[in-house]
Structures are given as structure tokens and as C-alpha cells.
Amino acid sequence: MTFADLGLSDELLKAVNEAGYDTPTPIQAQAIPPVLMMKDIIGIAQTGTGKTASFVLPMIDILAHGRARALMPRSLILEPTRELAAQVAENFEKYGKYHKLNMALLIGGVQMGDQLKALEKGVDVLIATPGRLMDLFQRGKILLNGCSMLVIDEADRMLDMGFIPDIEEICTKLPSQRQTLLFSATMPAPIKKLADRFLTNPKSIEVARPATASINITQRLVKVDSRKKRDALRAMLEAEDVLSAVIFCNRKTTVRDLNKSLQRHGFKSGEIHGDIDQSARIAELERFRAGTVNILVASDVAARGLDIKGVSHVFNFDAPWHPDDYVHRIGRTGRAGAKGVAYTFVTAEDAEAIDNIQKLIGQKIEMINAPVAASPAAVSQESDEEPRRAQAERKPERKPEKRRDDRRREEPRAARQDSARQEQAPRPRRPEPVNDGPDDGWNGPVPEFLSFGFTG
């Protein structure tokens, strides 16, 4: 089967061919014809299967007929993250270059000005994250009653991020007569409930068992000591034929610290996480795509939004808390038929998380031991204990830097202790009274009794 067999227009086929594709993936072959027939769709497909093109391509042909009006987008695509929204926008630009369609990207982390200007001109395709869309809708900057087509992408991720209430509210603002496409890697009960409520007689398409990992990915568990993760990672990066790698961590602070550690050891690495603004994220991803850096340390903000060809390895520096995230993390490699390798570091505390992952994907993952670092001298330069050692070494340097008042309090005490040891006698509790005349600090008249002496 070729794309020409799916009923797409000649202009669209030309753009697809120029992009280097001629054979549709299973999800594309099954989804595109019913979408063109204006049917509702539930598509269950694992990451890396070409799911995005399965709705972008037919949408371009459907929207080719009609005209956009100000503030009233004709179609809406909801994405859970900025990265995914940007990825879908790139697909529209690539495949829609022979169609005169206006597109707007509505995401957080960037200024609203340009987004509002695009909406005022009228857009055929609005790609948005739920938070920014609801913000503009509540301000009266956008109208949804002209939207005839809705795509809810990565619905299970929306659930994880708490967006389902927003999506339900958005659906109530749209016309009841519309076409709705829902895509998800898994179908948990809340997503099933959402589909039952807002889709009309949908056609279900499932190209792989839910939450299965690609057969192109070699998976391994790496048994490590929690204090020696960095040593093991560096040893594997040096031993493996790593062309480009994505390293996932559970916390943003771990992402920052690990990236700095890798850079200190001479690796070309970068980082993306939730505290980095959108422009910086895009710039870092472009550096990774261009090969300026070949290692990207990331939090789960990038697990589903990163679509870069040639990623040879994925390292789970931290075992993911949610088993679904494991599938999406390792899906950054082994894309478009390529081979990939995924390693997950496992400590004693990760036993339950690993059990849940293996239950979800329905297979046992081989366990291997962490490699030994090649150079003990190099390892000793930095390990996870280094911050504590450095802190301990710095402590004596801060002792002399006490406040002046502290030194004044301590010096008399030391002097009294030395004096007591020299005299080998206890110091009297009170000094003997000394009659040294009136106090010069007295401001009033001298008492009369002080003028008389005492005789025996």
C-alpha cells in the first residue's frame, strides 16, 4: 500500500513524497481513510508509529475547502506539552506547504502578542495546550463555536497531567456537530469515559497492544548502587557506541546536576526540563538535532514531545515512577524502523516500580550488572560523595570567620581558664571589693557620707 491508495490529494502526496515517505505506517493506513470520511476515531498506538501524520494529513485535505474567520478557528488540536504542540506544527508546515492554510500555535511560556495577532487574522488549524487555550477563552480572545474538528492527542498523558477537567470544559464549548479524533497509547478508565461522552459512534483502531514497547528497542535493566549512578553512566557512555542519547531523570534538580557533571567530564551534553522557558527549550532541542550536543538530559516534560531521528540510546537514570512513562521514554529511540537501546538503572528502592513496568509491557526485562569505571583515578575526581567531602573540607576554613562579638566572648573565657590552671586554685565567685573612690561616670552630687573616713 502507498499513500496514493489512501485517497489523499495530489498536492498532499507531493509534499509527503518530498518529505521522503512513500509507504504509510499501520496507524496511518487504518486511520486516514475513515478520517477523510468524517468519522470519529479512537486510535490506540504506541509512540513512534507515525500517529501524528495519521491525523495531520487528512486534516489538511479536509480544511483545504473553506475559509477561516477572525477569532474562530476551524479546527483544534489539543496537546499535553509545548514540545508536542511544536512537533505537530512542524508536521503541518511540512505537509501543508502546497495548501494555503493558516495555522496558530497557542502554548504557554511565550508572549501572547503574536498568538493574538494570528487569531485575529483567522486560523484554519489551532494547535494548543489546554492551559493557554482556557486562559485566552476566559479573556474572550477566542471563540470555539466555529470549530468543526477536534483532535485530543496523547489523551493518557493529559490524564497524568491533570488536564481532563479542562478538556471536558473545552468540549462543552465546541459545536455538538463536529468530528472528534482521540489518540492515546493506553486506554485507562477515565479516557474511556471521556471517549464515551464526547465521541459519536467512533471507529476504534489499535495497531499494537496498549503500552507495549517497540520490538526495535533492546531493553536492559542495570543493577547499580544508588551512590554510584554517575560513575556507571559515564562508564556506559564511554563503552557503548552512543551516537546520540537521551537521559531521563525524575526530578528537575537531578537533570541540572547530572548535566553539569557530564560537562565537567568532557561530554557534550545539554538539558531540558520544566523550569526552562520555551525559547530556551527550542534552542536546546535544535542543538541536539544539529549534533552540537549528542547527549540530552531531560525530565519527563520531553518524554512524549521529542521526535528526533537517530537517537541510538535512552538511559533511565531514575526508574520512572509511572510505568506508562517507561514506554514513552524508551520510545525516543528505535523510531521509524531504526534499532535502539534502552537502559534503566535499578537500585534496591526501585523493585516495585520495575515490577509494575514489566507487568504493563508484559515481558521480563533482562538484568545486567553495572560496568566498572575504567579509570579509578578519574572516578575519584568526582562521585556522588564529592559534594559532602568538599563541604567537610571547607568547614575548618569558616571557623576563624566568626563575628567579632563571638571572639570577644570566647577570648576572656580562654584567658580565665589559663589563669585558673596556672594558680591551681578555684577562682573566687566574686572579686574583692576595691575602694577606688567615686565612679567618674556619676552625674549627680557626691553623697555626703563618702566624704568621711573611718578610723580605728
DSSP output for 48-99: TSSHHHHHHHHHHHHHTSS--BTTB-SEEEE-SSHHHHHHHHHHHHHH-TTS
**Cβ neighbours, 10 Å, residue 138:** 9
Confidence bin at 22 (pLDDT 50/70/90) = confident
> Residue 303's pLDDT is what?
57
Q: What percent of the chain has pLDDT over 70?
A: 78
Confidence bin at 383 (pLDDT 50/70/90) = very low
- C-alpha cell read off for 330: 524508551
The rounded distance, in Å, linking the Cα atoms of 8 and 61 is 7
Mean pLDDT score of the chain, rounded to an integer?
Answer: 82
Which of 344-348, 361-365, 388-392, 419-423 tops mean pLDDT?
344-348
> Residue 27's pLDDT is what?
93
Q: Which of 62-76, 77-91, 265-279, 399-413 has the lowest mean pLDDT?
A: 399-413
The residue among 365 and 419 whose pLDDT is bigger is 365
> Residue 402's pLDDT is what?
46
Question: Is the per-residue pLDDT at 377 higher than 50?
Answer: no
Q: Which of 21-30, 372-381, 386-395, 439-448 has the lowest mean pLDDT?
A: 386-395
The residue among 238 and 456 whose pLDDT is bigger is 238
Question: Is the per-residue pLDDT at 456 higher than 80?
Answer: no
Confidence bin at 181 (pLDDT 50/70/90) = very high
Confidence bin at 367 (pLDDT 50/70/90) = very high
Q: Where are the alpha helices (DSSP H) in 229-298?
A: 229-239, 252-264, 278-290
> Residue 337's pLDDT is what?
72
Question: Is the per-residue pLDDT at 4 higher than 60?
Answer: yes
Confidence bin at 151 (pLDDT 50/70/90) = very high
> Residue 302's pLDDT is what?
58
> Residue 180's pLDDT is what?
97
Question: Is the per-residue pLDDT at 450 higher than 60?
Answer: no
**Model's pTM, two decimal places?**
0.62
Do residues 312 and 243 make contact, with C-beta atoms less than 8 angstroms apart?
yes
Question: Is the per-residue pLDDT at 244 higher than 90?
Answer: yes
- C-alpha cell read off for 361: 509491557
- When pLDDT is averaged across residues 69-82 and rounded to a whole number, the result is 91
Q: Estimate the crossing angle of helix 323-330 against helix 351-361, to 10 degrees.
A: 70
β-sheet bridge partners, residue 342: 219, 314
> Residue 110's pLDDT is what?
73
Which of 183-187, 260-264, 298-302, 387-391 tops mean pLDDT?
260-264
Question: Is the per-residue pLDDT at 316 higher than 50?
Answer: yes
Residue 29 phi, psi (nearest 5): -65, -35
Domains of the chain by start residue, with CATH: 3-206 (3.40.50.300), 217-385 (3.40.50.300)
Q: Single out the residue of 184, 160, 161, 158 nearest to residue 171, CA to CA.
A: 158
The rounded distance, in Å, linking the Cα atoms of 349 and 347 is 5
Confidence bin at 410 (pLDDT 50/70/90) = very low
